[in-house]
Structure 1
Amino acid sequence: MRQLLIRRLLQTIPLLIFVSIVCFAMIKLAPGDPVLSFVTPNMHAEDIERIRHNLGLDKPAYIQYFLWIKEAVTGNLGYSLVNHQPVTEQILDRLPATAGLMGAALALAVLLAIPLGLLAGANRGRWIDKLVNLVAYVGISVPLFWLAILLIYYFSIHLHWLPSMGMRTIGVNSAFDVLKHGIMPCVVLAFSFLAVYVRYIRSSTIGQLREDYVQIQYAYGSTKRIVLMRHVLKHVLLPIITLLGMSMGELVAGAIVTETVFSWPGIGSLGMTAVRGMDYPVIMGITLFSSIMLILGNLAADLLYGVADPRINSKR
């Protein structure tokens, strides 16, 4: 396990370098000039060039990249062009909000998908299977932002049950208040992943119920519930672990949309603000940080594979 972990971490180094080069090139090719945010109507051309020089934007692109990556290795991602605050501090300040939202949404999706998928697979063709499939199709088809707006209208504007935006109520500092603010963002982010996970678990359950070991368990007198929970579930968990690793990218993208709609103070909303303000250091920092999160998520899924099925480690 230790050798596997070291080998996977070493493999992430060239991947991170490639991601940083691509992101830096895309930002440089994007329209707009960050210097324009500092320009006033009465400013002279010499002053504009001085600002460009102070920001290091007058150097060739490859020199700018090497200077940035040199500082990024030490944890220094530069300063925001908008609020002049360290990028690393801004990301770390907002990381708990994003990590909490993503973790809660992922846990909710998995905890609901496993029993629903097993139930639908064990009752293939019956009304419960059709109902679960209908919910799954809706979850796959409905855009996150539309579902978020729908929940805000119904639960916040119409029923006044839940707050519509933010993470805390002004003047209130309690865990229950944070929980109330996080219910709708968590449900919205989890819904689309729940639909995908349910479909995979249902398909895997149907396949496992055709295996010989299931028929042997029935011959020994085991009930369907015992077969599902003690035997089928172990085999169903493996594709779920794979899905967790593969869906990390969609989870980050979904978190950005969800945080923007609900004004959730996480990394996603910070990134959208940086894009609107052409705050390149913040955009680069968030992109690099998101890439690290994706790589660590896939690494965790790879390691969990070995925990769920120890035979896999012996083949590596």
Structure 2
Amino acid sequence: MRQLIVRRLLQTIPMLFFVSVVCFAMIKLAPGDPVLSFVTPNMHAEDIERIRHNLGLDKPAYIQYFIWIKEMVQGNFGYSLVNHQPVLGQILERLPATAGLMGSAILLAVLLAIPLGLIAGANRNRWLDKLINFISYIGISVPLFWLAILLMYLFAIKLHLLPSMGMRTIGVESAADVLKHGILPCSVLAFGFLASYVRYIRSSTIGQLKEEYVQIQYAFGSRKSTILFRHVLKHVLLPVITLLGMSMGDLVAGAIVTETVFSWPGIGSLGMTAVRGMDYPVIMGITLFSSLMLIIGNLAADILYSFVDPRIKLKG
């Protein structure tokens, strides 16, 4: 187990290096110039070049990358080109908001997807299975930003039941207020996760119901619900663990569009602001941080496999 963890952690180094190279190259190839956000109509060309020099953007792209990677290895993710604040500090400041929102959405999606997927798989091609599949197809097909706007219009503008944006009401400092603001974005994100989770669990359930241990349980007189939630569920958890591991990156990057629509002060909205301003240190920091969390999530999923299914060996 220890060797596996050490080996996987060492593998993150070349993977993060590759991600950083690709991300940096895409930023440099993208149209736009971050210096333009500082330019005023009365500014001379010498002033513009001075700004470019102060930001370090007058050097060749590969020099800029090596300077950035040198600082990053030392734990310095650089400073924002827009607000001149430390990149790591901004990410850590917004991390609780994104982690709370995404974690709640993923947890809600899993709690709903497990029984729905088991029921759909156990009632294959029946009306209940078709209904759950129809809901899943809607969740996969409907753009989340459109669903977010629709729910905002219905529950915030028309019915006045929930706040439309933000994380807190001005002047109100309570957990209940934060929960109330998080209902709409959490519901939108949970619906998106739920659709894919149900499909995976349904497929795994159909395969498990064909196994011999299920027929043995029927021969012993076990009820269908007992077989599903006591025996089949243990094997169905494997794809769920995989999905949770792959979702760890979302805990950092967040749902960029959803956070932007609801003005949720998380890392996703920070990333959208950075993209609009060509703030490449912030973009690079968010990309690497989310990639690292994704790698750690996959490692955690591999470790959890041994607890869910002891037959899986974590050697090599």
What TM-score comes out, normalization by structure 2 length? 0.95
- Residue 292 of structure 2 is aligned to residue 292 of structure 1: yes
Q: 2:255 and 2:190 mapped to 1: Cα distance?
A: 10
Counting only pairs closer than 5 Å after superposition, residues 63-74 of structure 1 correspond to structure 2 as 63-74=63-74
**Gapped runs of 5+ residues in structure 1?**
none
Matched-pair contact (CA < 8 Å) for 2:71–2:77: yes
Alignment partner of 2:21: what SS? helix
Aligned to 1:80: 80
Aligned to 1:282: 282
Aligned-residue offset at 1:247? 4.8
Aligned to 1:91: 91
Matched-pair contact (CA < 8 Å) for 1:260–1:272: yes
Q: 1:65 and 1:253 mapped to 2: Cα distance?
A: 22
Q: Which moved more, 1:85-94 or 1:282-291?
A: 282-291
Matched-pair contact (CA < 8 Å) for 1:34–1:278: yes
Query: 1:149 and 1:253, CA in 2 relative to 1: closer, same or farther beyond 3 A?
Result: farther
Q: 2:88 and 2:250 mapped to 1: Cα distance?
A: 23
Aligned to 1:49: 49
Alignment partner of 1:311: what SS? coil
Letter aligned with residue 293 of structure 1: M
Letter aligned with residue 76 of structure 1: N
Matched-pair contact (CA < 8 Å) for 1:168–1:177: yes
Aligned to 2:173: 173
Identity between Structure 1 and Structure 2 (%): 83
Alignment partner of 2:312: what SS? helix
Aligned-residue offset at 1:210? 1.6
Q: 2:250 and 2:79 mapped to 1: Cα distance?
A: 28
Q: Which moved more, 1:12-21 or 1:220-229?
A: 220-229
Aligned to 2:58: 58
- Residue 38 of structure 2 is aligned to residue 24 of structure 1: no
Aligned-residue offset at 1:74? 2.2
Aligned-residue offset at 1:254? 6.4
- Residue 120 of structure 2 is aligned to residue 120 of structure 1: yes
Q: 2:304 and 2:120 mapped to 1: Cα distance?
A: 25
Aligned to 1:187: 187
Matched-pair contact (CA < 8 Å) for 1:118–1:202: yes
Matched-pair contact (CA < 8 Å) for 1:144–1:258: yes
Q: 2:74 and 2:104 mapped to 1: Cα distance?
A: 31
Cα-to-partner distance string for 1:191-216 (whole Å, 9 max, x where unaligned): 12211111121121122112111111
Cα-to-partner distance string for 1:219-266 (whole Å, 9 max, x where unaligned): 112111211111101111112222333455677776111101111100
**Gapped runs of 5+ residues in structure 2?**
none
Matched-pair contact (CA < 8 Å) for 1:80–1:86: yes
What TM-score comes out, normalization by structure 1 length? 0.95
Cα-to-partner distance string for 1:248-302 (whole Å, 9 max, x where unaligned): 5677776111101111100010111111122222122112222222222222222
Q: 2:78 and 2:254 mapped to 1: Cα distance?
A: 26
Q: 1:286 and 1:18 mapped to 2: Cα distance?
A: 15
Query: 1:76 and 1:141, CA in 2 relative to 1: closer, same or farther beyond 3 A?
Result: same
Cα-to-partner distance string for 1:87-117 (whole Å, 9 max, x where unaligned): 1111110011111111111111111000011
Aligned-residue offset at 1:313? 2.6
Aligned to 1:213: 213
Q: 2:136 and 2:122 mapped to 1: Cα distance?
A: 16
Matched-pair contact (CA < 8 Å) for 1:144–1:254: no
Aligned to 1:232: 232
Matched-pair contact (CA < 8 Å) for 1:35–1:52: yes
Q: 2:95 and 2:56 mapped to 1: Cα distance?
A: 28
Q: 1:165 and 1:173 mapped to 2: Cα distance?
A: 16
Once superposed, what is the RMSD of the aligned Cα atoms? 1.7
Aligned-residue offset at 1:165? 0.5
Aligned to 2:35: 35
Q: Which moved more, 1:69-78 or 1:167-176?
A: 69-78
Q: 1:132 and 1:251 mapped to 2: Cα distance?
A: 27
Query: 1:315 and 1:282, CA in 2 relative to 1: closer, same or farther beyond 3 A?
Result: closer
Q: 2:91 and 2:226 mapped to 1: Cα distance?
A: 47
Aligned to 1:273: 273
